[in-house]
Amino acid sequence: MLEAADDIRRKESTMAASAVLIRRRDVFWRGQAPFVFGTVVLVGFVLIGVPSAIGDAFFLLGLGVTALATASIAIVPWNQLPSNALIAIPLSDIVAVAFLRESLYAALPSTGLLIVFPVMWLSYRFPVSAIPLSAIGALYVTALPILAGRPAPATGRDWASLFLLPALITIVAVTVHAAARLLRATRAEARRVLNEAEQANALALTVANSVDAAIVHFLPDGSVGMRNQATFAQAEIAEYDKASKSALAAYEADRRTPLRREDQPIYRALRGEEFRGLLYWIGRPGNQHAIVANSVGVHTDDGAFLGTVLVGHDVTDLANAISVREEFLVAVSHELRTPLTSIIGYLDILSDAHDLDALGIRREVSTIQRNADQLHAIISDLLTSNASEIRVRPGPVDLAHVVRECAEAVAPRAHVLGIDVEVDAPERFDADADASRIGQVIDNLLSNGLKYTPRGGRVSLSLVPGDTEFSIVVTDTGIGISQSDQRQLFDRFFRAQEVRDQATQGLGLGLSIVRTIVDAHHGRIDVESLPGKGSRFTVTLPLHQRRR
Ligand code: ADP
């Protein structure tokens, strides 16, 4: 605000010298026109009411001065004169008012009111020194009759009529001048704020354009507020269709299944949804890009919704590196499995065909057998944890039986570890599932429960039936899992730091296998856990499987 006021002061002081371009049309319409129209109205009234005044010398003089002042706008080369030279026009108008008032002194005394127009111009457009000029001009208007020979003021009334108009006009001039200053200050402030906003906008756009991620701001009405360069490239690859507001070439994480319109990040962001880390693929086979999308709502400090910002990171290189790793793991696991199966087979033959005790090698052969079995289990886990390797063959099964069998299988180990295992399942529960895979899910969850629960704890397994879906819940009173670890729990090879520090056995594959099997059954798995208190894993599966 202060800067704005300084700005005006500077402008005012330089006005006389500065070479501001003066446009004649503006001078007429913004300065002189109201006075000309006022004079035309006056002439109309004179023609109707006092036609005799038309021939009066002062009247003609008044009109002449008005005409000259108006014509000067078009004739005088104002741009070659100091800009304040224009002050001559409103001053001439005041002189014209004095002449017109003198000629209509008795007939139309309110003619003097015409002075308001030039005074407003003077005080609005010119420096503060124009205010005394307005007052002197008004005095000239009221004093002209005396100068023209009428009797000098003698009574108080005469003096009042001499000074009333100048006094009122001074008040008008001061008021208009103050209003003009305020207006200019407000305008300067608005311009400053606008400049700042433009600069912030330019900065945001430059920053947005300097990153590889696509960034789009959707306004609440669904239109685009801002987008960066990278957006265009991604939209082209994804074959974005403006009409349907969806991408024609967008696929799920498997790169093949087309992503339904309502699941597409753009569509979800347009509905104001917020999400993070949504992985999908765009582009036709041969030119596919992996994108991780985040959508965040934009709100002002007072909570007003300004739309959503959608960010799409191109993670193709990372995704390719991961798939190379997966392929490598699968290839190596396959290669290792064949000779290992042969080793295990020959070890069996060895123990069946020979008396190991007599040979004195039973202990050694058992150690080899145990390690070979362990290696076989690891390789199976590695292969099973790869989604493409997993086969699920659902069929009618009594899950209550599966649940009880799993619990019985871990009972001896639980006994050794000093952990109670509780089972809660109905007598019988028929569902549609792959019994051995579901058994694998329960085994993994139970085995984790035992692994991560200290002696004296409890692990419970329950089967909760439902009308369209059912749940298998494994709860323990163990070490629990922190919030941040819960987010990565189902990633392959993930193991909590604490678990790694304690050198607890494991590869971090169990839960990823669990998830793969649950996904293949079109189910879901949820975890609730409090560090130090325990964890609960809930697997929810549909009662009936869709047939492919
Ligand atoms: P592994 O048990 O072989 O390490 P998992 O995939 O089964 O691999 O589990 C991954 C990680 O999740 C574990 O290393 C452990 O940190 C954590 N975790 C899994 N189950 C539990 C549990 N019941 N209680 C506490 N932590 C668990």
Quote the pLDDT of residue 5: 45
C-alpha 453 to ligand 1 mean position (Å): 11
pLDDT of residue 235: 94
Q: Which residue's CA lies nearest to atom 8 of ligand 1?
A: 508
What value does the mean pLDDT take over residues 51-58? Answer: 92
Q: Which atom of ligand 1 is nearest to the CA of 512?
A: 6
Q: What pLDDT was estimated at residue 547? A: 57
Is the pLDDT reported for residue 408 higher than 90?
A: yes
Asked if residue 76 has pLDDT above 80, the reply is: yes
> Residue 167: how many CB atoms within 10 A of its CB?
12
> pLDDT higher for 288 or 20?
288
| 370 Cα: distance to centroid of ligand 1 (angstroms) | 23
| Atom 20 in ligand 1: residue holding the nearest Cα | 448
Q: Are the C-beta atoms of 56 and 103 separated by less than 8 Å?
A: yes
- State the pLDDT at residue 381: 83
* CA distance linking residue 96 with residue 40, whole number of Å: 13
Closest protein CA for atom 11 of ligand 1: 495
Q: State the greatest distance between any 2 C-alpha atoms of the chain, in Å, as a whole number.
A: 155
DSSP 149-202: TPPPP-SHHHHHHHHHHHHHHHHHHHHHHHHHHHHHHHHHHHHHHHHHHHHHHH
- Check residues 400 and 22 and name the one with the higher pLDDT: 400
Q: Which of 122-131, 168-177, 491-500 has the lowest mean pLDDT?
A: 491-500
**What is the spatial distance between Cα 73 and Cα 24, in angstroms, rounded to a whole number?**
6
Mean pLDDT of the chain: 91
Whole-prediction pTM value? 0.55
Q: What span, in angstroms and rounded, lies between the C-alpha atoms of 519 and 437?
A: 12
Predicted confidence at residue 387, as pLDDT, reads 66
Ligand 1 atom with the smallest distance to the CA of 504 is 4
429 CA → ligand 1 middle, Å: 29
* pLDDT of 420 higher than 70: yes
As a whole number, mean pLDDT of residues 275-290 equals 93
Helix (H, G, I), strand (E, B) or coil at 277: strand
Ligand 1, residue 478: give the atom nearest the CA: 24
pLDDT tens digit string along 167-211?
999 999 999 999 999 999 999 999 999 999 999 989 988 999 999
In angstroms, what is the span from residue 508 Cα to ligand 1's centroid? 7
The ligand 1 atom nearest the CA atom of 498? 16
Predicted confidence band of residue 222 (pLDDT cuts 50, 70, 90): confident
* Confidence label for 106 from pLDDT (cuts 50, 70 and 90): confident
User: Residue 508 CA: which ligand 1 atom is closest?
Assistant: 8
Query: Ligand 1: which residues within 6 Å by Cβ?
Result: 444, 448-449, 451-452, 476, 478-481, 489, 494-496, 499, 506-512, 535
CA angle 327, 313, 494 (to 5 degrees): 45
Mean pLDDT of 40-66: 95
User: What is the average pLDDT across 27-51?
Assistant: 95
Please write the tens of the pLDDT for every residue from 247-276.
999 999 888 899 999 999 999 998 889 999
